[in-house]
Amino acid sequence: MTTPPPASPPPAPGPPPGGAGPVDHPDGTKILVLGILGLVCCSFLGPFAWVMGNRVMAEIDASPGRYSNRQTVNIGRILGIIATVLLVIGVIFGIITAVTGGFSAEVST
């Protein structure tokens, strides 16, 4: 009498049904980094984060379920908006300062 061969291991799990699932948008991290840099040190990067964020948000909304990092893109876009507003305030303040003579304080004795 012979013994039956050992049972083979179960097959490895395959990809989920319906495809590989949502992936991160390739520009998501770039927009977040631009937004952070625009807010922290390089305010001229803010408008780039804002415009790119709007474009990528439209792409994500046009194909729901395809991309999973909508929140990351939205955070970068909002940081870009804040950086742009601060940039505009700084430019306006600089123009007013230049027109009015700046911070020259004359001390009369």
pLDDT at residue number 32: 96
With respect to residue 18, please indicate whether it lies within any of the assigned structural domains.
no
pLDDT in tens, 20-29: 788 999 999 9
With respect to residue 15, please indicate whether it lies within any of the assigned structural domains.
no
User: Pick the residue with more confidence: 97 or 10?
Assistant: 97
Is 23 strand, coil or helix?
strand
Rg, the chain, Cα only: 27
pLDDT in tens, 37-95: 999 999 999 999 999 999 999 999 998 889 999 999 999 999 999 999 999 999 999 99
Report d(CA 77, CA 26) in Å as an integer: 15
Specify the pTM. Answer: 0.74
Is 25:71 a contact under the CB 8 Å cutoff? no
With respect to residue 2, please indicate whether it lies within any of the assigned structural domains.
no
With respect to residue 1, please indicate whether it lies within any of the assigned structural domains.
no
CB atoms within 10 A of CB 22: 15
Domain span at 81: 28-99
With respect to residue 16, please indicate whether it lies within any of the assigned structural domains.
no
Tokens matching residue 73: 């893109």
Q: How many structural domains does the chain have?
A: 1
- Nearest Cα neighbor of 70 from 17, 32, 21 is 32
Backbone dihedral angles phi then psi of residue 93, each to the nearest 5 degrees: -60, -40
With respect to residue 13, please indicate whether it lies within any of the assigned structural domains.
no
With respect to residue 50, please indicate whether it lies within any of the assigned structural domains.
yes
Report d(CA 72, CA 106) in Å as an integer: 50
With respect to residue 107, please indicate whether it lies within any of the assigned structural domains.
no
Q: What share of the chain is helix, strand, coil (3-state, %, to 5)?
A: 60, 0, 40
- Nearest Cα neighbor of 47 from 55, 38, 56 is 38
